[in-house]
Amino acid sequence: MRWRPSISPRLLLLVVQFVALCSIPGAFSSRLVTLDTIDIFTTHEWFSSKPTVFFRCSGDNQTNLPDVKEANLIYTFKGEESWQPLTELPEKKCKRCGLYEEDMFRNDVFDEWELCSSDFKDGKYIHFKEGQFNATLLCPNCTVSAGMTHIQYI
């Protein structure tokens, strides 16, 4: 008859800590932001060419929105497109983000703003810039404190 070796206290402590950490809601959840809908009200093109619209946050790569070509048309997305997600947000810190139109000399700015995990109420955030665009962003793992608004009008 063979006796099983006892589990070392260090290994047991490591397993208990791992289980405890995994049981904390949101401990490993990522705050991925996807584009749900967008409606641009104007383009900055002088000629009748189709604009190249893109989203970018500071420190991130530019994300082109290849389908967004016409003004005054609501584009709806599934969040599964090859260019999604737009960005990933940290829990406690905001990112400076914006919506832009590519231009030959200098990119045109639809708007730039601070995007925070706490802006999302029930996983949804609406950003409206008068005369420019209306966009709905989704982040299921982002949360808002009670009493905070989730729609930003500029």
pTM over 0.75: no
Q: 50 and 68 in contact (C-beta within 8 Å)?
A: no
Tell me, yes or no, whether 92 lies in a domain: yes
Tell me, yes or no, whether 76 lies in a domain: yes
pLDDT for res 104:
81
pLDDT for res 114:
98
Q: What is the pLDDT of residues 8-53, one digit of tens each?
A: 767 555 555 555 444 444 445 689 999 999 999 988 766 667 889 9
Terminal C-alpha separation, the chain:
77
Q: 101 and 124 in contact (C-beta within 8 Å)?
A: no
Tell me, yes or no, whether 75 lies in a domain: yes
Query: By residue range, what is the domain housing residue 95?
Result: 32-153
Q: What is the pLDDT of residues 58-78, one digit of tens each?
A: 999 999 999 999 999 999 999
Tell me, yes or no, whether 65 lies in a domain: yes
Q: 93 and 99 in contact (C-beta within 8 Å)?
A: no
Number of domains in the chain: 1
What is the layout of strands, in order, in the sheet containing 53-57? Answer: 63-64, 53-57, 95-101, 108-115
Q: What is the pLDDT of residues 122-138, one digit of tens each?
A: 999 999 999 999 999 99
Give strand pairing partners of 91.
none
Token pair 């009493």 is found at 147
CATH number of domain containing 40: 2.60.40
Tell me, yes or no, whether 21 lies in a domain: no
pLDDT for res 44:
73
Q: What is the pLDDT of residues 79-107, one digit of tens each?
A: 999 999 999 999 889 999 999 999 888 89
Tell me, yes or no, whether 129 lies in a domain: yes
